[in-house]
C-alpha cells in the first residue's frame, strides 16, 4: 500500500483528498481489498459536492 500511496501522491494535488482516497482504493495491492466498480462509482469523489475545477471526468 505504501508504494501506491507514494505513486498517487507524486502525481495528484495533495489537497484532492477524495481523489487520492479513490485512487488508493483502486490501486490496492491485494485484489480482494480493491474497490469494486460499484463501490468506486459510489465514492464521494463522484458526488457533485467534492468535484473541483480542473478535474474533468
pLDDT digits (tens, 9 = 90+) for 19-51: 888 988 999 999 999 999 999 999 988 886 544
DSSP 8-state code for residue 35: P
Q: Say if residue 1's pLDDT is above 80.
A: no
Which residues touch 57 (CB under 8 Å, ≥6 apart)?
Answer: 46
**pLDDT confidence tier of residue 57, bands split at 50, 70 and 90:** low
- Do the beta carbons of residue 44 and residue 50 sit within 8 Å? yes
Amino acid at each position: 500500500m505504501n508504494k501506491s500511496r507514494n505513486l498517487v501522491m507524486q502525481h495528484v494535488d495533495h489537497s484532492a483528498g477524495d481523489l487520492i482516497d479513490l485512487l488508493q482504493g483502486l490501486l490496492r495491492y491485494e485484489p480482494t481489498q480493491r474497490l469494486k466498480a460499484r463501490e468506486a462509482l459510489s465514492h464521494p469523489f463522484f458526488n457533485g459536492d467534492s468535484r473541483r475545477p480542473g478535474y474533468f471526468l
